[in-house]
Amino acid sequence: MQTETTTPDEVADPILAVDGITKSFGEFLAVDDCSFDIGNGSITGLIGPNGAGKSTMFNVISGFYEADSGSVHFDGEDITGLPPNEIAHKGLVRTFQITRDLTEMTVMENMMLTPKNQTGESMFRAVFDRNTIDTENEVIAERADELLELFQLDHVREEFAGNLSGGQRKLLEMARMLMLDPDLMLLDEPMAGVNPTLENDIVQRIKELNRERNVTFVIVEHDMSLVMDLCDRIVVMNEGTDLAAGPPSTIQNDDRVLEAYLGGGA
């Protein structure tokens, strides 16, 4: 039953290569020699029991934590240790919960703020230098409107973000990071606290962005049936390291994965 087909190196065209990442907090090894590749254009699920190190891994990849050892390559380039704004500038972003100060701004203000607020002034310029339109603000507003429409938030564009439903906030979290025109998005439990209707909306947006704009996604999500449906590949973490990787059908029937879920979990 166990074959050696689920090695982390089977991805033909990786956009992200995580190699031997270790990250400790004091004595505690949260991530312990973890390696995996993410295929360009894929929707990859990153799963594992609570405390497996998934969120820590996301923070290392996106530059919010500095790893003790190991490397992260994005698009063939070594981005290990770069600050988050530089990594975002290169097209790799992770989503954040809308913080309290942002709830007191309108949805549109959130959208307009994002590039500056999340990643610094230089980011703001870098994204829109690509366009040959006169006013940066006009371009930004146009893009914001387009994304708000895509995320069905255009009707609440002048609403305070704090007045949105939990699900709408999740959509806004994604929409505002898309202002940066990323190639790779890391989503940490994007469906948490979202009702089934909006959950379906988020799934559809992810599929559209993947299909139509070739955005690659890595998604931490606990709902296994959703992961199996949405993802074309799954990476399993357990106790800080990569346990298995492969297509959903393989992972679903992997004894080691089952064992990790039954025996593990904090």
Ligand X SMILES: Nc1ncnc2c1ncn2[C@@H]1O[C@H](COP(=O)(O)OP(=O)(O)O)[C@@H](O)[C@H]1O
Q: Please report, as ranges, the residues that interact with ligand X according to CB under 6 A.
A: 25, 28, 30, 48, 50-56, 266
Residues near Mg ion (CB under 5 A) are 54-55
Give the dihedral of Cα atoms 49, 194, 101, 117; nearest 10 deg. 70
CB of 256 to ligand X, least distance (A): 17
Instruction: Decide whether 77 or 223 has the Cβ nearer to ligand X.
Output: 223
Give the dihedral of Cα atoms 16, 227, 243, 249; nearest 10 deg. -110
CB of 209 to ligand X, least distance (A): 23
Instruction: Decide whether 188 or 254 has the Cβ nearer to ligand X.
Output: 188
CB of 56 to ligand X, least distance (A): 3
Q: Give the C-alpha separation, 118 to 125, whole Å.
A: 13
Q: What residue number has its CB nearest to Mg ion?
A: 55
Q: Considering only CA atoms, which of 81, 84, 80, 107 is closest in space to residue 95?
A: 84
CB of 61 to ligand X, least distance (A): 12
DSSP lists the bridge partners of residue 106 as 160
Instruction: Decide whether 25 or 138 has the Cβ nearer to ligand X.
Output: 25
Q: Give the C-alpha separation, 251 to 36, whole Å.
A: 15
Q: What is the DSSP letter of 143?
A: H
25 binds, among ligand X, Mg ion, none (CB under 5 to 8 A by kind): ligand X
51 binds, among Mg ion, ligand X, none (CB under 5 to 8 A by kind): ligand X
Instruction: Decide whether 36 or 151 has the Cβ nearer to ligand X.
Output: 36
Q: How many CA atoms lie within 13 A of 43 on its CB side?
A: 21
CB of 112 to Mg ion, least distance (A): 29
Instruction: Decide whether 175 or 237 has the Cβ nearer to ligand X.
Output: 237
Q: Give the Cα-Cα-Cα angle 105, 111, 116 (nearest 5 degrees).
A: 95
φ and ψ of 215, to 5 deg: -80, 130
